[in-house]
Amino acid sequence: MSSRWTDTAEDLAEATRLKEEKAAKRAAKERKRREAAAAAAAAAAATPTTSPPASKRQKTRNDASDAIAPERAKTKEPKLLRFNGATISACRHVETSYERLNHIEEGSYGIVSRARDLETAEIVALKRLKLERETDGFPITSLREVTTLMASREHPNVVRLREVVMGDTLKDVYIVMDFVEHDLKTLCEDMAEPFLLSETKTLLQQLLSATAYLHSHWILHRDLKTSNLLLNNRGQIKIADFGLARYTGDPAPPLTQLVVTLWYRAPELLLGATTYGFEIDLWSIGCIFGELLTRNPLLQGKNEIDQLSKIFELLGVPTESTWPGFRRLPNAKSLTFPKHSATTGSLLRTKFPLLTKAGVDLLGALLRLDPKSRISADDALMHEFFREEPRPKAAEMLPTFPSKAGQEKRRKAFSPGAPVRGDAPVLEGVVGGGVFGGVEEEAAGAGFSLRMGR
């Protein structure tokens, strides 16, 4: 008799099936393990390791470098900062870059021509620097011209420097600038009537704005005159010819007195001052202001003595009250000034009878004999003259004229050139004539003489 707990044939068959499944699973698991180990071994063989071999000795302390290494691995490598800038390259050759069209003018420091850019077909002004007489390398005046033009070319009323190109020799150096259609002097000579007062205000505002920009960058132009002021057909003034320009400072360094074209030269320079500042540019602007009103240069002296005479005829002989300390200037020490009251008053109102009171006041502030009391460019821009009627005309509304800088021959009236480097002239003669001619008969001791060279 068999027990009821005895396994039947079906139970034995089920137990056998379960054992076979477990064995198959163990075999599959073992096979996967062997495959993973083989793959790891193959990867290790393909990638050589630089780590030192494992040590069987137990470590007694933690290595700080082992803790830092994973952090370093996570950080990215630093990248260098790069700034976009102009690449340094050689100057272009003038003959392969530009086609010269016609001659424009010749000055003390360069010869200006009209040219065409062969790459862009733009019309430009090409100035050849005069270097034939230089024996000590590149002249400091030309270097100052390039550096000051580069520093001020962002202002809309300063001519823009494009590049510097070379010729076949080191003496052939050219400055390439924007071409501007007119210069103010030739334009004034060819006009039948002077500019309207509203147009004069516009031109004067632009000139003062550019001068204030130069002075804010510590640049002295030292040769402002109408022939160095260019005017395009959009009514924009452009200051050009920086041949005498240079940087200055505070206090101003000792400078040469032989600067500024004679008709626009300040009295302190004529009297031999070697320390001066931005005031000499403002005196030149005052002379330009008077020239715009009459179409003729305001003070046309034949030489330094005659120039002083014309200044004192128009503005009066200086005194210690109107110009403190002027007698200490080198050339003033040999002067004998008249003490008659008729020679100390200004004749600006008589010279410009149609100019408004504010206009005469601004002109007198620009032509103040004492440079310390002369108005600055920033203060001149805020003067009441520009706020009264008629208001300054929009630059776009200024009249246009046919360009004389093209192929047509230019008619030029006489105008003294800018002073050339060298020793200042020795002044000998008598400062007189004009309103001082008959003063000697009216009052004893009138008239004065200037003798130099002792």
Give the C-alpha separation, 162 to 331, whole Å: 42
In contact, 241 and 269? CB cutoff 8 Å: no
pLDDT band per the 50, 70, 90 thresholds, residue 444? very low
Structure tokens at 383: 């003067």
Predicted pLDDT of residue 271: 92
Residue 279, CB half-sphere, CA atoms under 13 Å: how many? Answer: 19
- The pLDDT tens digits for 303-351 are 998 899 899 999 988 888 889 988 888 888 877 766 665 567 789 999 9
With left for phi above 0 and alpha for psi between -120 and 50, is residue 222 left, alpha or beta?
left
Specify the pLDDT at position 240. 92
Asked if residue 79 has pLDDT above 80, the reply is no
Q: Return the amino acid letter for 358.
A: A
Give residue limits of the domains in the chain. 94-176, 182-328+347-422
Strand partners, 451: 428
Tens of pLDDT, residue by residue over 124-162, are 999 998 887 777 778 888 889 999 999 998 899 999 999
Cis peptide before 53 (omega within 30 of 0): no
Look at residue 156 in the predicted model and tell me its pLDDT.
Answer: 94
38: helix, strand or coil: helix
What is the H or E stretch that residue 162 is in?
A: strand 161-166
Is the CB of residue 253 less than 8 Å from the CB of residue 277? no
Alpha carbon separation from 287 to 126, 197, 258, 376 (Å, rounded): 29, 16, 18, 15
CATH class of 182-328+347-422: mainly alpha
pLDDT category of residue 443 using cuts at 50, 70 and 90: very low
Average pLDDT estimate for 89-97 = 87
Return mean pLDDT, the chain.
Answer: 83
Residues catalogued as catalytic? 223
- CA-CA distance, 51 to 179, in Å (whole number)? 71
Sequence-ordered list of residues with C-beta below 8 angstroms from that of 411, at least 6 positions apart, any chain: 186, 189, 190
Write out the two tokens for 170.
């080191």
**How much is the pLDDT for 300?**
94
Q: Are 161 and 174 in contact (CB under 8 A)?
A: no
CATH of domain 94-176: 3.30.200.20
Cβ atoms 439, 340 nearer than 8 A: yes
State residue 201's pLDDT score: 96
Residue 329 β-bridge partners: none
Share of the chain above pLDDT 90, in %: 44
Cα 417 from Cα 346, distance rounded (Å): 28
Query: Worst-scoring range by mean pLDDT, 10-24, 64-78, 122-136, 184-198?
Result: 64-78
